[in-house]
Amino acid sequence: MNAIISASELADALAGPRPPVLLDVRWQLSVAKAGGEPPFDGRAAHESGHIPGAVYVDLDRELASAPGKEGRHPLPDIGEFGAAMRRAGVSAARPVVVYDGGQGWAASRAWWLLRWTGHPDVRVLDGGLAAWEGPLETGAAEPAEGDFSPEPGAVALLDADAAAELARSGLLLDARAGERYRGEVEPIDPVGGHIPGAVSAPTNDNVGPDGRLRPAAELRARFEALGAAGGTEVGVYCGSGVSAAHEVLALAVAGIPAALYAGSWSEWSGDPSRPVAVGPDPQ
């Protein structure tokens, strides 16, 4: 099954006999700015206009635990995640489509979590809400309770030690912007740089000028050029396990399975005992 769905395909599915559960995961990374600009409010954005029937899911509260030593977006408590998904109407026997404002990072985080916990049929709206040309509705949806019971382990997950080993034995991709990988800037985490051996692969390069993922053949060629060929084991990390999920999505579209290091750089760099590499080269 394809990991993504187009806006036209979604419109057809919503009009069909087995419409998917729709999750709206609009979110933006909050970085302190001069002038006191208020942070993005995903719930307010949802209530002002969303795809009909969509239910808002809060990434920071329902798709992650509180920030701590395991990073800025640690994996959520499984019981709490399951309860949140059931409140949103998610059931094991019903397809799920996830979308965000268009960047795809937050939607991919929800997609990955649902896959990791065993949901068999979940896709991301390619291009997000920006690609949707149908009607919108306002207010908050009140779905019927779902029955989804999460069972972690359906797809590969890395911890810090496994990520370090994969950087030596396979291919560990760093999905952050190149300047953060090189250590030239670091606006959020304790230090800049990358996990020694990791290869720079900014997730934004997987998206075309229209905001949609590049065709599968282009994505495959890109990842093979980075080293994902010949059965090489692949893993991905980013700053906090959000944009890396989008890279895992792109890899899935390319037909390349990949593990997610959920703690990512925010966990790695928070431990001063772990090595940090800087510059354009993996080592």
In the beta sheet, which residues pair with residue 137?
A: 50
Q: Report the 10 Å Cβ neighbour count for 246.
A: 28
Element (H, E) at 248: helix 243-253
Asked if 150 contacts 59 with a C-beta cutoff of 8 angstroms, the reply is no
Q: What is the DSSP letter of 125?
A: E
Residue 70 annotated to the active site: no
Question: In one letter, which amino acid is 84?
Answer: A
98, 171, 238, 251: the active-site residue: 238
User: Rounded to an integer, what distance in angstroms lies between the CA atom of residue 167 and that of residue 32?
Assistant: 32
- Which residues are known catalytic residues? 238
